[in-house]
Amino acid sequence: MKKYTGVGIMSGTSVDGLDIALCNFYFENSEWQFEIIKAETFKYDLHWRKKLKEAYKLTSFELLKLHKEYGAFTGKQINIFLKSVKLKIDFIASHGHTVFHQPEKKVSFQLGDGACIAAETKHLTISDFRNQDVVLGGNGAPLVPIGDMFLFSEYDYCINLGGFANISFQKNDNRIAFDICPVNIIINYLSEMKGFEFDDKGKIAAKGSINNSLLLQLNNINYYKKEPPKSLGIEWLKKEFLPLVNSANLSIEDKMRTIYEHISLMITKNVMNSKSKKVLITGGGAYNDFLIQCIKEKTDSIIVLPEKKIIEFKEALIFAFLGLLRLQNKINCLSSVTGAKYNHSGGVIHTINIVN
């Protein structure tokens, strides 16, 4: 039984930090097994938070320069993370940090040059997982569902509450997955207006009241009427969602409470209401007690909050798994999920070959 040891890297749209997970994978009894050996989040300082949030404003040259800088920064954080690790590392797989995601224009760009990561770490690195799917007519997202299918098959639904909520489930013989709605990206936006980075356990929202007018406007956004495959990005948030929130003459607490209601409605709308169905919840939103309460109130399905490592590092784990599949030239991107012309193996492989 061969074990593969990889490092998965994820930076989400919430811009809270760089998630790094050291993982083992092995194939046993016709199933993939995994272990998260070590995992850590390197919080962004104000300098990097500002750079990443404002990257979309840069000129083409400045963006390319930041792409290299962020790749080198990522590599340095990986080196710090691996300093005490004695295991042989087979590969690094990095998602990068999304700046642009407009698949309808054949554009999806993630900061963090894989060549710079490989140069810093001296390890084979796979990056740029989305672009191949986009040029094949897909959304380039979501990519995590193939990991859900192979690593978390005991759950009927896998939902990640990150910057955006996304869902993954099996329907007949196909994996179906899509972004549901914004979560932490909008909650954090409003929390900052109250002087906080995030809404700790939902305490701000719990003080507010639901505004039915705003709730109706949010629920009626066109995206929710579209059939999958579909995905969301910051551009959509700024164009479709934020104007409704910003124009509402309400307190921050009332806006928050209304958005929590909207999120919980959108999530439960996409989950079969059955006591026999198990729903795995991961991502930072899993720690938001009030949001989880809102979700539980609207479904009879079994809501499962796993151990801390899975809650916080499931996406980094799965990007490591995507990297492994890419190295084996196996499918790591499903057309049933993204809408691409066919299943394929995505990701650019970077090696540093030093010749004397």
- Single-letter amino acid, residue 51: K
What pLDDT score was predicted for residue 354?
Answer: 74
What pLDDT score was predicted for residue 353?
Answer: 80
Q: Contact, 117 vs 69, CB < 8 A?
A: no
Assigned domain for 203 exists: yes
Query: Which residues on neighbouring strands pair with residue 302, listed in sequence order?
Result: 278
**pLDDT tens-digit profile of 92-139?**
999 999 999 999 999 999 999 999 999 999 999 999 999 999 999 999
| 297 and 238 within one domain | yes
What pLDDT score was predicted for residue 352?
Answer: 85
Burial (CB count within 10 angstroms: exposed 0-12, middle 13-18, buried 19+), residue 169: buried
What pLDDT score was predicted for residue 258?
Answer: 98
Assigned domain for 355 exists: no
Instruction: Please report where in the chains the tokens 């991502």 appear, as a residue.
Output: 283
Assigned domain for 24 exists: yes
CA 115, 117, 122, 127 torsion: positive or negative? negative
What is the pTM for the complete model shown?
0.92
Radius of gyration of the chain (CA): 20
pLDDT per 10-residue tile (average), the chain, 356 residues? 94 90 95 97 95 96 98 98 96 97 94 98 97 96 95 97 94 92 96 96 98 98 95 93 98 98 97 94 96 97 97 97 98 96 97 79
| 179 and 283 within one domain | yes
Domain housing 81: 3-144+312-350
| 122 and 225 within one domain | no
| 140 and 25 within one domain | yes
How far is the CA of 272 from the CAs of 205, 210, 276, in angstroms?
Answer: 26, 25, 10
Tokens (6 digits) for 98: 């999304």
Assigned domain for 356 exists: no
Assigned domain for 127 exists: yes
| 179 and 37 within one domain | no
For 267, half-sphere exposure in the C-beta direction (CA atoms, 13 angstrom radius) is 33
Assigned domain for 73 exists: yes
| 180 and 67 within one domain | no
| 210 and 273 within one domain | yes
| 91 and 192 within one domain | no
| 129 and 190 within one domain | no
| 187 and 115 within one domain | no
Residues 6+ apart with CB under 8 A from 317: 8, 21, 23, 34, 36, 147, 151, 310
| 286 and 171 within one domain | yes
**pLDDT tens-digit profile of 17-30?**
999 999 999 999 89
Q: Domain holding 236: CATH number?
A: 3.30.420.40
| 175 and 73 within one domain | no
What pLDDT score was predicted for residue 252?
Answer: 98
What pLDDT score was predicted for residue 14?
Answer: 81
Domain count, the chain: 2
